[in-house]
Every structure is written in C-alpha cells, then in structure tokens.
A and B are shown apart, each in its own frame.
Chain A
C-alpha cells in the first residue's frame, strides 16, 4: 500500500474500523482527503463482520 505523501495537510484520522469508521474513511477519500484508519484489533470490520445476514436485504455483511 502506498504511503502518504510528504504533505501532511488534508489528512483525517478515523479511530475505530467498524462499519462507522470504514464508511467515514471511504467518504473522506471521496471528499478529497487522505485517511488514517486506526483500528485496535488485527482486522477492520468490527461487529458488523460477525453478523449473519442483515435486515432487510439479507445481504452478507461482508
């Protein structure tokens, strides 16, 4: 994965990589910012990754 450029401007830190954090990170990149997504566990996804199907579409949560 590419690392941030030398310029430190225009970056945002998102603390917590569950569904909220991942969504915030994705949206921030679409709004023109570089994101550090900081997660305490070894993988992102949080509790959502543990869920079976989700209401009402029964989509897999991954």
Chain B
C-alpha cells in the first residue's frame, strides 16, 4: 500500500466513481468524478488536531460502526493517502452550514470547504476491474438474531474486535455489557451455500478465516471455549488442512451441524442446532460470530453496463475457464473477488496475471508515459564529518511525551554535529524542502533524523537526500516514536532520556557511515519455462506475447501434459508452435543451472537416442511448471487396492464415460473421496477431486438416470461455483454419505463381486452393498520437484510442492530471485486457477526483463578476500544462495557475494569466523561505535553516582 502511495507512476484517485468507459484495447476513454475531500491533500500533515476539535460524532465505518469517530478523520494512521477527509453526511458545516471549528484549528490551513466534485477523463490502453466484493444483506443475518442482540456479530466485526486498533484496543469484549466472552460459537455458511438468500455458491474463504479468527481469539484468551458449526470444512488451499489441525490441537471444537436459530437467552445467546443423526440440541454462548460470505459488489450491474461486459448468474463478473481473467469485453480484465469469491493469495495471483495480460495487449505503448525520476550528481565527500540532526515532534505524537527541544539541543553538543533543529512534521512536503535547504546551507554530509519508524519513512528521507545530492546511505534514522513516546507514554522523563541515548548512538554510527554505490546488473531478456502442460504453455505464450524470447522445455515427446485431450490444450499447442518467440524443446530436461536473476545459464539435454544433444541456454528468468501426476495408492483407508475395470480412479471413470452407449455408465457405483489424501497416504487435500467426482456423478446420472451413485466423503469441497454442481447432484439423486477417520469404509473384492461396507450416520447403521464399480478420488502428487529443487536451490514444502516466497503477497515467486512457479507444481488446483497462476508467473517473470537491469540494494554483504579463509560456512548458511566460492589468483577458495541475489540479511557476516564479511551500512566499526556510545553514558552515570 505504502509502495503504491509512493510510486511516481501510480496516480491514486480516491473518492472517485466511474461514470463511463468507451473505446477498445489500446485506447479507452474513462470518465470519473472525484468527490471533494474538503481537505487539501498536499497541505494536510495528518496531525489529527482537527479530529480532536470536531464537535460532531459519527459511527466509525472502518471499525464496522463498533465505535465512534468524528466527521473529519482518517480511517487509520497508516492510510494511503495519509490525508484526513470530511464525511459530508455528518459534518455540521456541510449539512447545516455552521461550525467550521476545524478551519482555524488547522495549522497548515489545509481545510477547504469550497471544493467541488471534479470530473476527469482518463485516456488509457487497458482497464482492470478489481472492485472487490459486497456484503451479505442484514435480512439474511437477521435469521441468527443479528441486529436484535448485540453479541451476535459478523466475522468482520469480530476481526475488528481482535485488532489492536479496534474498538477495544484488541480486547475481545461483548458489545452488550463489555464482559469478556468465554463461550464463542462460529456459524459457517452464513449467506453462502444458501439458495434461500440467492447465493447458491460457496464463498471459499470463510472456513479458513473462521479458523484463523478462532485461533487468534484463543491466543487472546486461552481459556475461551470456541466451537465452529459447519456443514463441510473447506480448507482446500495449500497447507490449509494443517491449519485446521493446529486449531483442533489448540482445543477449538468443530461440530458438523445445521444451526436452526440463535435466540437471546437471559444474558446469553441460545444456539439451536441439528446434527446428522437428526437430533436437535441447544447450547448457551456469550458471543456468536457469523461467518459471512462474499457477495457480488453492490454496483456490479452498473459497472458491467458501463464497461459493456457480462455478469454471471450471481452478479459476479462472468469469465471463461480458459480465460479466467478476461471479461467479455476486449481490453477489460478482471482480478480479485469481483471474479468470484476468493482469498488473498488467489486475488494477488489474479492481479499479477491481469497486469501481465494488459501488458501484452498494449506492449507497443510500454514505457511511453512512465516517469523516470532523475537526481543531481552526488557531491564529493570531504574528510570533515558534518552531521545534521533533525528531531521530530510528530505533532503531539512524540512531542507530548518526549521533550523534543531538549533532545535536539543535546544532539547539538555532539562531536561532528554542525546543525541541529526540531520540526513539527519532518515527513511533510515542506519539511523535505527545509531538509534539502539545510543540507546545502550547512554543507551537511550525514543526516540523522529522530522521528518514527524507518520501515515506513526511511525511503522518503533517503529520496530527499538524493534530491539534495547526497548518497542515500549517508542517513541514520532513530525511532523515538515507537520506542520512546509510545511505549513510555506515562514516563516522559525516561522517554526523553531514552531518546537522547538513541540519538547519541545514531550520531556515533553516523560518524562512520560512508556513501555506498548503487549497483545495477544488466539482464538477459529471455526466459525459460520448464514443463509443457497447460501451465507451462500458458506462461511461455504470455511471456512471448509481452515481447520476450522464451524456451519451453518438455520432458515427454509432445506438449500438453495432463490435459492433452482438452480442445483448449490443442489450441494452445498450436499457438505455442506458431509463435515466433517461443522455442519448444521436447524430450528434454534441465540438467544444470548456474547464475542469478538476469544472468542464468542452463544446460538442457534434448532429444532421444542418437539425436540426443546438450544445449546451453542463457536466460534472465526461469518459470517452473512441472506439474503433478495422479496418485495411485496401493492401500486406501486401510484396504489393499487392486485397480481393475471395476476399481478405477476418477480420471479413468471420466475417460470411460466419454465413450458411447448406455452401458458405459455403471449401474451402481460407490465413489470414495480422499482416497489416499488428507492424512491417509498424502497429508494434503488435492482440491480438485470433489468437483471431478461430482461432475462424473452427474455425467452418470445423465447417461442413465437409474444408475445408483453413492459418494462417501469427509468434507465435500465443491468450493466457489462448483457448489451448484453439488446441489444439482443431490437433486438428481446422488447420495452423499460422510465417513469419519475412526470408522472408515471397507472395500473387498471376491472374484468379480465387490463389497463395500460403511457406517451411515443418518440411518445410524452399518450398510453393506455390492456395487458394480468403486471409483476412487485419488488426488495428485507433484512431479520430480526434488531434482529441480536441488538444481535451482529452491525449497519445497513437506508435501514436496514448491514453496513460494510469501504465501500471501508473493504467491508465484520462489525465494531465489528470478525463479517463478505456477500450476500443479505449486499445489493442486483446477484448470482455471492453473491458467491464472501461469499468467501471473509470466507477468512477474517479465518484470526484470522489462526493466533490463537488476538494482542492488547497497547494504548487501561484501567479502574481504584477504581475510576470508574459504571455510564455506557462509555459502552453506545463506538462505538466498547469494554467496559462491571462487578461486583467487593463488588458486585458493574464497567466498564472493552475488550482489544481485543478496538480501542483506547479515547471516553470513554474523557467522564468519574471521570477520571477513561486512554488511553495507552495518559494518562492525559502525555497530561497535553505537554500542560504545550507549555504554559511555552508563559509565558517566555510574561515575556520577559513585
């Protein structure tokens, strides 16, 4: 978010509504109207004084109306843009033409009641729709006494209750009487899987967020008794089952039941539910959390009409399985929950994918409007240390606790300090100008700023240094807000002393800091994709469509992978073969890869027998799309399995059903879900088997409505729109019977006679039957991830799928820069998700190629070859494979940092036995001087007291 706020190439237009879009790919005209904020964004310093003086109250929407704020406010301190706004619905000036207290209060004169709505026309080459999702109607929630009893809350309200910035500062309290709830119930599928409210689909995310919220609530109060009432636990995502297991281990209860109602019951709530055996029970709770689903956004139809694209029957954006990110209108793409309910990693993946497609559509326009910032030349460093210290009040945030003038004067006495000052808001726009002027006026060559967190503000100040002709490394930041005024809010003297300590240490370090060069490494603008299935082909085509050469490496003698038979796959193969920028290598495999992002070199073995040869390819990026195979377990739920024409996997059944004649559909079939998955043989859920099985069941019913289809399952995971198929299958007479892991079904085969026995929880009886066929939903296993993982030095999960750099925010990048993953090699998933992920991986892979060079953070590690003894400890410890061994002129092994891969974590430097490694900006000398500066004061104090 902050990154978006800071980018010179993103113009954020808040308070804005779309009025119309017209045009075609390459040239759209979008009209928007920007509603007034009544505050001049450039002048607002976000000091908060206006809110303090505003006399009017209003509900705080950011906190789900659980507490109050004022009409003039900011939602939360880190909001982007960090500018206050006035809510015209409640402001006295805007509703009753009176008050305006805020106007004289504002020191920077940022309030402007004369602002009017402003229309703008944007000329753009492509459009991405990401309006998010809507809320489930209160009418649906009212069934569970929501609105009637304060302690029935939605999951998003509960999220705010858990949050430290929430209404009770992170304490979970009942809204009725402020007590801490001891018994909490979660009700799943509220507003989802509910044709009563028109939402037949599954919202896909609620099971997982309920588990997370329950676990966080348990952290807040380990004694809390938490029960989750569910129909099916749908934790089909990567490593999600493991999260549910952790929840179970923490004592969170899961009850498979339908909740009939929630009623006030004295001080409590009474929850009535019915279990599968037909029994009704009720239990008292202090708080009931409704796991609300995701609805289409309220303005979906309006957007669709303006954009000229279609919605599906649930009013989400309509997309096709094979073009999951394209709306029905050319040049308008879709990403995130507007494309159907999905979680954060999925949304992030879709966004990258959509950005990549847009980039391909208008590649001829690339870079034409991009703003490249330029900086003055860096000035030469003299020998004299000239430090400037700037201490920030942050309005009252620091200034009301820490004696800022005292700290500032204290700094003035220190060695090397030639200028010191205090400022009200050192981050404000005008303060940057002051900083620049003072650097010039006093010829400063090092800057220390004592203010807030470097995490959020260091880049801003470094930018200003660069503008003033100083290297950005000549900067030290002291956090006297978080570490002094916040944590010692009640002890102003101690907070002031600590501020002085921290400033003294920073100045001591600053005396030793040196300019560090900004390094760049050029990039080879080609990519390779390993794996020629749907994922690999989609990724290769996308990369090529964006204008980059790409080699596609496939192990088999033809492309297509698991989905060879799909019409779409055949089309893809054709496109790949025709594309000028894609070179296909079949019967090929990756043998060796060396190098780093932008500069990889790989050896490919290509061809069979006498035609076999080795090819060396130089490339800038690599995408892994090696896929997965059907898992064929020899035992299923404790039964030894001999696959035959009567005991088949779901994919074999699907193949059989493709034929002709009524007899291809078995007269009776028992389908067994999670055969080998979810703890039986494989630990994880294979995500696609439930939907595939339901599809097969429906096909059987279509061919022969009299066929008997029974599905034994643990949780039916037909998430998203696939829930419609599940609903249809039940209507068509497919029987769904759950089994538990402590009472597993048994399968026996005698001659051609099959016997399946299981416990039916509805009839509460053991059932034995003799179906014509048993179909096993066997799940999938990743292919050869071990070899590739070693070759590319990228990690795999315990389940042998490739492990992404960050589950939520970097779902297609691997921890080694320049290496990306998509498709089944990442985790099991259906075709539409595979394609979206492949599009995302190719978009990410295109980034270094577009840029043409890799920038290296100057704080990377540096090995002093003289001191290095070549022990290789650092190379074995480096988590990013950023240190390699080279030979020096005397042929002795020496470590060397690959600067393009180094993340400056410092592990190597802290472990080096001979102190041969130093980190830019964190040298031993600098750190020692900081420690000495800290100790010096203690010594002085000791002397004083003695």
What residues make up the interface of A, taking CB atoms closer than 8 Å to B?
1-5, 7-57, 59, 62
How close is B836's CB to chain A, nearest CB, in angstroms? 12
How close is A39's CB to chain B, nearest CB, in angstroms? 5
In the complex, B15 has a CB within 8 A of chain A = yes
In the complex, B37 has a CB within 8 A of chain A = yes
Q: Which of B80, B351, B366, B843 contacts A43 (CB 8 A)?
A: B80
Contact with A along B338-364 (1 / 0, CB 8 A): 100000100110111011101100100
Q: Which chain B positions have C-beta within 8 A of A52?
A: 159-160, 162-164, 166, 213, 216
How close is B842's CB to chain A, nearest CB, in angstroms? 11
Are the CB atoms of A20 and B216 closer together than 8 Å? Answer: no
Are the CB atoms of A25 and B216 closer together than 8 Å? Answer: no
In the complex, B16 has a CB within 8 A of chain A = yes
Are the CB atoms of A16 and B359 closer together than 8 Å? Answer: no
In the complex, B18 has a CB within 8 A of chain A = yes
Are the CB atoms of B351 and A20 closer together than 8 Å? Answer: yes
**A11–B350 CA distance with the chains assembled, in angstroms:** 19
What residues make up the interface of B, taking CB atoms closer than 8 Å to A?
1, 3-5, 7-18, 28, 30, 32, 37, 62, 64, 74-76, 78-81, 83, 85, 122-133, 156, 159-160, 162-164, 166, 208-209, 211-213, 216, 239, 243, 303, 335-338, 344, 347-348, 350-352, 354-356, 358-359, 362, 365-371, 546, 806-809, 843-844, 846-847, 850-851
How close is B499's CB to chain A, nearest CB, in angstroms? 25
Are the CB atoms of B366 and A24 closer together than 8 Å? Answer: no
**A32–B710 CA distance with the chains assembled, in angstroms:** 54
Known interface pairs A4-B11, A28-B358. Does A56 touch B126 (Cβ–Cβ under 8 Å)? no
B79, B132, B163 — most chain A CB neighbours (10 Å)? B132
Are the CB atoms of B243 and A55 closer together than 8 Å? Answer: yes
Q: Which of B13, B131, B371 contacts A36 (CB 8 A)?
A: B13
Are the CB atoms of A11 and B124 closer together than 8 Å? Answer: yes
Known interface pairs A5-B371, A11-B125, A21-B336. Does A32 touch B366 (Cβ–Cβ under 8 Å)? yes
- With A21-B351, A55-B212 known, 14 other A-B pairs at CB within 8 A are A13-B30, A15-B128, A20-B338, A21-B128, A23-B335, A29-B10, A36-B124, A38-B18, A40-B17, A44-B5, A44-B80, A52-B163, A55-B243, A56-B243
Q: Which chain B positions have C-beta within 8 A of A25?
A: 4, 7, 10
CB-defined A-B contacts under 8 Å, sample of 8: A20-B130, A20-B351, A21-B130, A27-B352, A33-B362, A36-B122, A39-B14, A62-B76
Are the CB atoms of A18 and B356 closer together than 8 Å? Answer: no
Are the CB atoms of B303 and A15 closer together than 8 Å? Answer: yes
Are the CB atoms of B1 and A44 closer together than 8 Å? Answer: yes
Are the CB atoms of A32 and B13 closer together than 8 Å? Answer: no
Q: Which chain B positions have C-beta within 8 A of A32?
A: 359, 366-367, 370, 850
Are the CB atoms of A42 and B10 closer together than 8 Å? Answer: no
Are the CB atoms of A44 and B243 closer together than 8 Å? Answer: no
Are the CB atoms of B355 and A13 closer together than 8 Å? Answer: no
Are the CB atoms of B4 and A22 closer together than 8 Å? Answer: yes
Q: Which of B1, B123, B336 contacts A16 (CB 8 A)?
A: B336
Q: Which of B37, B347, B546, B847 contacts A30 (CB 8 A)?
A: B847
Are the CB atoms of A15 and B4 closer together than 8 Å? Answer: no
Q: Which chain A positions have C-beta within 8 A of B5?
A: 44
Are the CB atoms of B159 and A46 closer together than 8 Å? Answer: no
Known interface pairs A15-B131, A32-B366, A50-B159. Does A27 touch B14 (Cβ–Cβ under 8 Å)? no
Q: Which chain B positions have C-beta within 8 A of A46?
A: 132
Known interface pairs A1-B8, A10-B366. Does A42 touch B18 (Cβ–Cβ under 8 Å)? no
How close is B464's CB to chain A, nearest CB, in angstroms? 15
Are the CB atoms of A50 and B62 closer together than 8 Å? Answer: yes
**A33–B15 CA distance with the chains assembled, in angstroms:** 23
How close is B670's CB to chain A, nearest CB, in angstroms? 35
Which 3 residue pairs are nearest across A and B when measured between Cβ atoms? A20-B336, A10-B368, A27-B355
Are the CB atoms of A51 and B76 closer together than 8 Å? Answer: no
Are the CB atoms of A44 and B359 closer together than 8 Å? Answer: no
Q: Which of A20, A26, A54, A62 contacts B4 (CB 8 A)?
A: A26
Q: Which chain A positions have C-beta within 8 A of B164?
A: 52
Are the CB atoms of A11 and B239 closer together than 8 Å? Answer: no
- Identify the closest chain A residue to B366 (Cβ): A32
Q: Which chain A positions have C-beta within 8 A of B85?
A: 42
How close is A46's CB to chain B, nearest CB, in angstroms? 5
Are the CB atoms of A49 and B76 closer together than 8 Å? Answer: yes
Known interface pairs A16-B130, A40-B17, A50-B160. Does A29 touch B9 (Cβ–Cβ under 8 Å)? yes
Are the CB atoms of B369 and A45 closer together than 8 Å? Answer: no
Q: Which of B9, B128, B369 contacts A24 (CB 8 A)?
A: B128
Q: Which of A18, A29, A37, A42 contacts B15 (CB 8 A)?
A: A42
**A62–B809 CA distance with the chains assembled, in angstroms:** 11
Are the CB atoms of B11 and A1 closer together than 8 Å? Answer: yes
How close is A28's CB to chain B, nearest CB, in angstroms? 5
Give the total number of A-B pairs whose CB atoms are below 8 A apart.
261
Are the CB atoms of A49 and B1 closer together than 8 Å? Answer: yes
Q: Which chain A positions have C-beta within 8 A of B28?
A: 13
Are the CB atoms of A44 and B125 closer together than 8 Å? Answer: no
- Identify the closest chain B residue to A28 (Cβ): B355
- Identify the closest chain B residue to A5 (Cβ): B369
Are the CB atoms of A19 and B366 closer together than 8 Å? Answer: no
**A44–B213 CA distance with the chains assembled, in angstroms:** 24
How close is B346's CB to chain A, nearest CB, in angstroms? 9
Are the CB atoms of A26 and B76 closer together than 8 Å? Answer: no
Known interface pairs A20-B337, A36-B124. Does A10 touch B350 (Cβ–Cβ under 8 Å)? no
Known interface pairs A21-B336, A31-B843. Does A9 touch B132 (Cβ–Cβ under 8 Å)? no
**A43–B494 CA distance with the chains assembled, in angstroms:** 36
How close is A13's CB to chain B, nearest CB, in angstroms? 4
Are the CB atoms of A17 and B159 closer together than 8 Å? Answer: no
Known interface pairs A15-B130, A33-B358. Does A39 touch B156 (Cβ–Cβ under 8 Å)? no
**A26–B12 CA distance with the chains assembled, in angstroms:** 12
Q: Which chain B positions have C-beta within 8 A of A29?
A: 7, 9-10, 370
**A4–B32 CA distance with the chains assembled, in angstroms:** 16
Known interface pairs A16-B338, A32-B850, A38-B32. Does A27 touch B351 (Cβ–Cβ under 8 Å)? yes
Are the CB atoms of B365 and A20 closer together than 8 Å? Answer: no
Q: Which chain A positions have C-beta within 8 A of B127?
A: 12-15
Are the CB atoms of B159 and A38 closer together than 8 Å? Answer: no
Q: Which of B129, B369, B850 contacts A9 (CB 8 A)?
A: B369
How close is A30's CB to chain B, nearest CB, in angstroms? 4
- Identify the closest chain B residue to A41 (Cβ): B14
How close is A23's CB to chain B, nearest CB, in angstroms? 4
- Identify the closest chain B residue to A37 (Cβ): B12
- Identify the closest chain B residue to A13 (Cβ): B124
Are the CB atoms of B9 and A35 closer together than 8 Å? Answer: yes
Q: Which chain A positions have C-beta within 8 A of B350?
A: 20
Q: Which chain B positions have C-beta within 8 A of A11?
A: 122-125, 369
How close is B484's CB to chain A, nearest CB, in angstroms? 21
**A46–B1 CA distance with the chains assembled, in angstroms:** 10
Are the CB atoms of A10 and B130 closer together than 8 Å? Answer: no
How close is A52's CB to chain B, nearest CB, in angstroms? 4
Q: Which chain B positions have C-beta within 8 A of A48?
A: 344
Q: Which of B15, B124, B366, B368 contacts A40 (CB 8 A)?
A: B15
**A5–B527 CA distance with the chains assembled, in angstroms:** 32
- Identify the closest chain B residue to A4 (Cβ): B369
Are the CB atoms of A42 and B37 closer together than 8 Å? Answer: yes
Q: Which chain B positions have C-beta within 8 A of A31?
A: 355-356, 359, 366, 546, 843, 846-847, 850
**A52–B405 CA distance with the chains assembled, in angstroms:** 37
**A55–B244 CA distance with the chains assembled, in angstroms:** 12
**A16–B132 CA distance with the chains assembled, in angstroms:** 7
**A2–B166 CA distance with the chains assembled, in angstroms:** 34
- Identify the closest chain B residue to A46 (Cβ): B132
Are the CB atoms of A30 and B4 closer together than 8 Å? Answer: no
Are the CB atoms of B9 and A44 closer together than 8 Å? Answer: no
How close is B355's CB to chain A, nearest CB, in angstroms? 4
- Identify the closest chain B residue to A59 (Cβ): B808
Are the CB atoms of A33 and B75 closer together than 8 Å? Answer: no
How close is A4's CB to chain B, nearest CB, in angstroms? 6
Are the CB atoms of B79 and A10 closer together than 8 Å? Answer: no
Known interface pairs A10-B367, A34-B369, A39-B16. Does A20 touch B347 (Cβ–Cβ under 8 Å)? yes
**A3–B130 CA distance with the chains assembled, in angstroms:** 23
